[in-house]
Structure 1
Amino acid sequence: MEQNQKTSSLKKRHRLVAMPYPGRGHINPMLNLCKLILSKSDNFSITFVVTEEWLGFLSAEAQEKPLPENLSLAAVPQVIPSEKGRAANIMEFVQALLTKLQHPFERLLDRLESKPIAIIYDVFLSWMVGVGNERNIALASLVTVSASFFTVLSHFDLLVQHGHVPLHVSEKETYKLNRQDEPLDYIPGIPSTTFADLPPSFQKDGRKLLNQMVDMVSSTNNAQYILITSIHEFDKQPIHSLKTKFHVPFYQIGPMIPYFSYQNHKTHNYFHWLDSQPKGSVLYISQGSYLSLSNDQIQEIILGIQDSNVPFLWVTRGEIENLGEVDNAKGLFVPWCDQLRVLCHPSIGGFWTHCGWNSSSEGFYAGVPMLTCPIAWDQFLHSRMIVDGLKIGWNVLKNDAHVITRQEIAEIVSKFMDPECYERKEMVKRAKEVRDMFRQAMDNGGSATLDFDAFINDVMPKHD
């Protein structure tokens, strides 16, 4: 079903179809991409395809932030587990994603009023390659992970060849990683790292899922365009490596965060609270929208943050309700916030983050130092990038089961936010340099803007 708006005007435009992976960290960048396309050109209409569950979420959100008139939502049946089901069994979710979504999408595609000139799809919806090629529709693969992590997945065979990952992992086999701290310096485009900085899923747990992700990435070679959500100045080496492996045009279009509209939203109550705080004094805390730490660790973090006496704004996602009474005189707990706008507020002095690529990108754009707390997948590599590569943050947690105590957390948070701390001053300086690099690339005439405009020009039919 499609929610068309001003159908008569839509028919005059070239249709694009966009379909994200059904998760918040993938839907948001795809939606931002579509909005940015429509802000630059009125020659397109976009049909944004999601599951019925996400249609409900996005329709509700559109009541506060209306969608562009030439962007319409469409839904395929809920043939995969719900968002809650994904958290309970990620393998079941991904398996359904790979086997049950294609046919409903094809039926929707064939019912559209006009044939799309291109399908923009999340890189992890690998079955889209067959759909587009069969119908002679151009395919643009949106890479919603970092270029570095995409590069690692693209060269996963090297990890196997060098013995850092077993070729086969059976149910009964235990692979002992006694080379965790050994340098990994053989992945093209990736600075020397260690296996400990790669996701735990590269080990036994999650290996089946990982193998599927590697297959998804390799299928991208059959697309017509690859859209990288980063900038040339930031990811020169990984992009060069990818260009030698994939024979598809690459466009480094910049992070698909709402930088083009974040100043236009309504003011929420938490902004009044931020306005009352001293410049650079508040720690913004968000652990993302999906995976969580253990309850014991969350409790230690909450108590440690409060013991630090640092003002904080915390997007809780329900963690607080399980912990009884919490003194919120020193900070503010909210179930949701306008994250990029918050990070760019002058009172924000630091960002406690799980290091998802969208959140990391918003931290770069805002120019704030980060306390990294990765949980899974690409987050560990981003943490290493932030802490050791860019040197604009510190890592809070260890890559093991050890629970960091409230005393340890209070100590690191107090030092991290201390305006007189020399290490902090240096991080602030470098974070501003990263911010300037990203903003210049995403301004008019910048490298990301030029690549974005080039993609729009290339996807447009040449006979018009």
Structure 2
Amino acid sequence: MGTIRTEPTTALHVVAMPYPGRGHINPMMNLCKLMSFTKPDSLFTFVVTEEWHGFIGSETKNPANIRFATIPNCIPSELGRAKDFPGFLKAVATKMEAPFEQLLNRLELPVDVIIADTYLDWVVRVGNRKNIPVASFWPMSATVFSVFHHFELLEQNGHFPVELSERGEERVDYIPGIPPTRLVDFPTVFQGSGRKTLSRALEAVSLVSKAQYLLFTSVYDLEAQVIDALKPKFPFPVYSVGPTIPYFELKDHSSVISSNHNVPAYIEWLNCQPKGSVLYVSMGSFLSVSSSQLDEIAAGIHNSGVRFLWVSRGETTLFEDGCGNMGLVVPWCDQLRVLGHPAVGGFWTHCGWNSTLEAVFAGVPMLTSPIFWDQIPDSKIIVDDWKIGWRVKREVGSENLVTREEIAKLVKSFMDAENSEAKELRKRAKELQETCSAAIAKGGSSYTNLDSFIRDISQGQAK
């Protein structure tokens, strides 16, 4: 990785407006940190609700040039988001615009650019009204963006709406830059009750054309064909600046044995495990699988005889008899640090985009267990396009439980150092890791794109 450079340039004031969800706030903050290291004389005003400021305000030490600003809790709490997701989306779409614009009016320094989560499409309207350039920040894969952008093609070809139980295996091969994809591998917003939120996603993506920049959290080299196909569709720069994960903080935290007494207990445990022997398990921070499926997963992993580190949000009674010396269950961990630890040889993941990018960065193959939204196509990308993972469920969307016997067999094969198919996954994962490292090194695609974006907004070149 190249060293992060600094150069004396004119000051810059960036307002960052993330969508109020953990998987959106984190990549936005990571982008701001990267930009602040690159341009230390800039100022970042990071806008969150008062509730979210309570969650994240004291979590990390931010650079001095990143400051928080809050708007009132005008949307349902985190608990409300999980209970009524369509209602939460509606509140985000209708309740945040006015307090955000009032906040802009109170800022002392002029704003040079607003970086806003694409799903907050009203920010584009605010920016255009106030003559402030807006960079639309897409927190999912470029592939998923392209699916929404080309939604009319699905309708024209009779692939929406469809009954997935009858036509789910049909392949869509006409979206520019995207390999043939089964209908069951499209985002869940195309399916069943998920359609209630589809119009929000389509509206947000359609308004990107009114912004002045489009930023992808992806790495260009991982999705080159789809990004190349999208670039001509917009009259402004499209930059891939990923992975927007906290890799720049890793140099401060060695993942191996350290004399530092502040080493977390889970890292000390990993330090005692053989190389590549531990399966890291995390189901994400929002939705979870059913309790009956969770029981099967826990029993299956336990019965596989494979070492595991499991991040469990509240389900601490998963292993009532304890994990023995083969496993550890923790409520939270520094995921990127864990994935980069030599003892970790695989990742059971829900396939959120941030987690996917962290696994690629760390060179760790994945067992994919998607639940919702873009996790379904992410699983397809991991397994079919990148070939660095296996699916836990063979039939996507099936209501049938994956049994503990199936899970034990799968996990055992996946983590077997001598299994030829698993060996191929590991080899391919290391190749993609090198691709990712090259992108963020000096002269790489992400390094260059971030530089270009900063130069554009510094010079006021938004069109």
TM-score (norm 1): 0.93
Match for residue 295 of structure 2?
299
Alignment CA distance shift 1:30-1:96 (3 Å): same
Residue 326 of structure 1 and its aligned partner are, at CA, apart by 4.0
Structure 1 residues 101-144: Cα deviation after superposition (integer angstroms, max 9, x where no partner): 00011111100111211100001000001100111101111110
Residue 112 of structure 2 contacts residue 460 of structure 2 at CA under 8 Å; is this kept in 1?
A: no
Match for residue 415 of structure 1?
413
Of the candidates 254, 257, 270, which is equivalent to residue 242 of structure 2? 254
Q: Please give the secondary structure, in 2, of the residue aligned with 1:307.
A: helix
Aligned residue pair count: 442
Match for residue 177 of structure 2?
189
Residue 25 of structure 1 and its aligned partner are, at CA, apart by 0.3
Match for residue 389 of structure 2?
393
Residues in 1 aligned to 2:56 and 2:103: alpha-carbon distance in whole angstroms:
19
The answer to whether the aligner puts 1:406 opposite 2:404 as a matched pair is yes
Alignment CA distance shift 1:392-1:175 (3 Å): closer
TM-score (norm 2): 0.93
Match for residue 152 of structure 2?
157
Q: Please give the secondary structure, in 1, of the residue aligned with 2:61.
A: coil
Structure 1 residues 319-378: Cα deviation after superposition (integer angstroms, max 9, x where no partner): 233674443431111111111111011000001111111000001100011100000111
Match for residue 200 of structure 1?
188
Residue 267 of structure 1 and its aligned partner are, at CA, apart by 2.7
Match for residue 64 of structure 2?
69
Q: Unaligned regions of 5+ residues in structure 1, if any? A: 1-11, 167-173
Residues in 2 aligned to 1:269 and 1:323: alpha-carbon distance in whole angstroms:
19
Q: Please give the secondary structure, in 1, of the residue aligned with 2:287.
A: coil
**How do residues 81-160 of structure 1 correspond to structure 2 at under 5 angstroms?**
81-160=76-155
Match for residue 447 of structure 2?
449
Of the candidates 373, 376, 379, which is equivalent to residue 372 of structure 2? 376
Match for residue 219 of structure 1?
207
Residue 242 of structure 1 and its aligned partner are, at CA, apart by 1.4
Report the more deviating stretch, 194-203 or 21-30. Answer: 194-203
Residues in 2 aligned to 1:269 and 1:114: alpha-carbon distance in whole angstroms:
44
Residue 312 of structure 1 contacts residue 330 of structure 1 at CA under 8 Å; is this kept in 2?
A: yes
Match for residue 30 of structure 2?
32
Residues in 1 aligned to 2:227 and 2:388: alpha-carbon distance in whole angstroms:
22
Residues in 1 aligned to 2:57 and 2:359: alpha-carbon distance in whole angstroms:
28
Residues in 1 aligned to 2:188 and 2:81: alpha-carbon distance in whole angstroms:
19
The answer to whether the aligner puts 1:241 opposite 2:229 as a matched pair is yes
Q: Please give the secondary structure, in 1, of the residue aligned with 2:310.
A: strand
Alignment CA distance shift 1:120-1:200 (3 Å): closer
Alignment CA distance shift 1:256-1:149 (3 Å): same
Residue 295 of structure 2 contacts residue 318 of structure 2 at CA under 8 Å; is this kept in 1?
A: no
1:161 aligned partner, one-letter code: Q
Residues in 2 aligned to 1:326 and 1:414: alpha-carbon distance in whole angstroms:
20
Alignment CA distance shift 1:234-1:315 (3 Å): same
Alignment CA distance shift 1:322-1:342 (3 Å): closer
Of the candidates 293, 310, 316, which is equivalent to residue 312 of structure 2? 316
Q: Please give the secondary structure, in 1, of the residue aligned with 2:242.
A: coil
Residues in 1 aligned to 2:232 and 2:399: alpha-carbon distance in whole angstroms:
39
Residue 231 of structure 1 and its aligned partner are, at CA, apart by 2.1
Q: Please give the secondary structure, in 1, of the residue aligned with 2:110.
A: coil
Residues in 1 aligned to 2:420 and 2:192: alpha-carbon distance in whole angstroms:
41
Q: Please give the secondary structure, in 2, of the residue aligned with 1:260.
A: helix
**Sequence identity percentage:** 50
Match for residue 268 of structure 2?
272
Residues in 2 aligned to 1:263 and 1:380: alpha-carbon distance in whole angstroms:
33
What RMSD, in angstroms, separates the aligned Cα atoms of the two structures?
A: 1.5
Residues in 2 aligned to 1:79 and 1:200: alpha-carbon distance in whole angstroms:
27
